[in-house]
Structure 1
Amino acid sequence: MAKRPYIPSADAPDGDPRAPIGGSRTLIEQAYAQLREDILDGRLAPDEKLRVEHLKDRYGVGAGTLREAITRLVSDALVVAEGQRGFRVAPMALEDLADLTRLRVQIEIEALRRSIRAGDAGWRARVQAAFDDISTIEQPLLPRDARRWELANRRLHEALISGIDSPWTFKVLHQLSQHSERYRRAAIGLAHSDRDVHAEHAQIVELALSGQEARAALALEAHIARTPDLLVQRLREGRPGERGAAWRGGRQDLG
């Protein structure tokens, strides 16, 4: 199996305290970044067994390095440890996405409302700059731009709530965003979707910057809920996506 090219660590989650500090750590970071990207993009499918002896050749690292990278992905909820039986890619399930979405809505909506009330000129500038940045990517939003868009999307959502001083709010929302990234990638890859993500962002930003707190909160809630709504719709239509995915059994897993 051919080795995959190194994915720069700049695409890894911002603020990761486990940054490279030496040669061995750099190899772990590289393997982690490559594995994470392959899981997020569906090249390593949900529930797929991660066989270290096979994957070490694919990623060009030793078994110990690969196991340490996989262990990090367990803490990211992208991999499941199976005791003595090794590791599997975490499943994707509608119930999981619904739970993530409910919690994110509760926290992010309140944070946005507080941010609009407290937002100053600096906040307005951050929101406008983040919106201008993402506008260059999502007109239209294409699957090949998923990685760049994910980073720009995170920065826009963080800018919108940056008017408040609450480090824990940012930490929790960052975790929720990471855990739901696979679902967002799946939604980007849906064929024949009439979703206009840029229009959704434009509406949220316009309402927020004009101080329309209640309407901005409603627009953000609808925006966050759109991804699970799309995936549920495709399940009912019997065609969840374009990546060879299949919905299995009564668990409503996406994989």
Structure 2
Amino acid sequence: MDKKVESPDAAAPLAVERAYRELRRALVRGDYAPGARLRMEELTQRFTVSSSPLREALNRLSGQGLVKILENRGFRVAPLTAQGVSDLARVRLLVECEALRDAIGHGDDTWEAQAVAAGHALALCERRLGDEPRALDDDWSARHRQFHLSLYAACTSPMLLDLADMLFDNAERYRLWAARHRQSPRHKHDEHQQLLKAVLAREADKAVALLRTHITRTEQLVVAALQGVANDML
């Protein structure tokens, strides 16, 4: 029997999606320096995809704030600035706190079980790492992301969920950069467990207050790291 050959038209969306996901992961992880020029030749070689899907992926990422489009049709990595992280934190507080409150009001047993599982998985990873830096561990980062998004998963607004997902990636890029430059580590295990406890108790006001503190503390640490690097360059 002849093998079915996928047409170029059918393969194109898959190529765009793969390019988007792999490039987004690289940008969030900090593989490219803030403000660095994203050259199509290098990207096509690294991600083994043609320029057309890459350009579509880059345009999509620009809409999410991870990439800046240049006037001459080129692309750069979005910069990391104190003003940028403060604006990001402001929007995260609006979106994620509302998503959490809505999820607490509408979540069922399955949502609770998934949140507990995500919190337990994160705690197991932290126990394994011990005193080692957690922020730069890929497994911890993946579980950390899953934990936060699991708390919002019962939110009844798909738009809020999409925004929370996008904002988390932007915040993650700042967080990973700051983790490489700050002087002292931040251990967030207690913050996460307190947040999970309040969510499971359906204490919406307390959970939202804890989330606000969590997001604001991240903002403060990133701003301090950015200022520290700027001072070192003087």
Give the TM-score band, short-chain normalised. Answer: 0.7 to 0.9
- Deviation at residue 143 of structure 1 after TM alignment: 4.5
In the other structure, the counterpart of 1:13 is none
Partner of 2:158: 167
Q: Indicate which of 174, 183, 187 corresponds to 1:183.
A: 174
Aligned match of 2:33: 45
Matching residue of 1:6: none
What's 2:145 paired with? 154
Q: Does the CA-based 8 Å contact 1:116-1:163 persist in structure 2? A: yes
Task: Tell me the SS of whatever aligns to 2:68.
Answer: strand
Which among 134, 154, 157 is matched to residue 122 of structure 2? Answer: 134
TM-score under structure 1 length normalisation: 0.72
Task: Decide which moves more: 69-78 or 225-234.
Answer: 69-78
The offset of 1:134, in angstroms, is 1.9
Unmatched tracts of structure 2, length 5 or more: 1-8
Tell whether 2:183 aligns with 1:195.
Answer: no
CA offsets per residue over residues 21-75 of structure 1, 9 Å max, x none? 8444444444333332332222211111122234333433333343333223223
1:68 to 56, 59, 68: 56
Q: 1:75 to 1:206 in 2, by over 3 A?
A: same
In structure 2, what is the equivalent of residue 145 of structure 1?
137
Q: Identity rate of aligned residues, in percent?
A: 34
CA distance in 2, matches of 1:220, 1:120: 20
Structure 1's unaligned 5+ residue stretches are 1-20, 241-245, 250-255
- Give TM-score scaled by structure 2 length: 0.78
Query: Aligned-pair RMSD on alpha carbons?
Result: 3.0
Residue in 2 aligned with 1:90? 78
- The aligned length equals 222
* CA 54–110 in structure 1, closer or farther in 2 if over 3 Å, else same: closer
More helix by share: 2
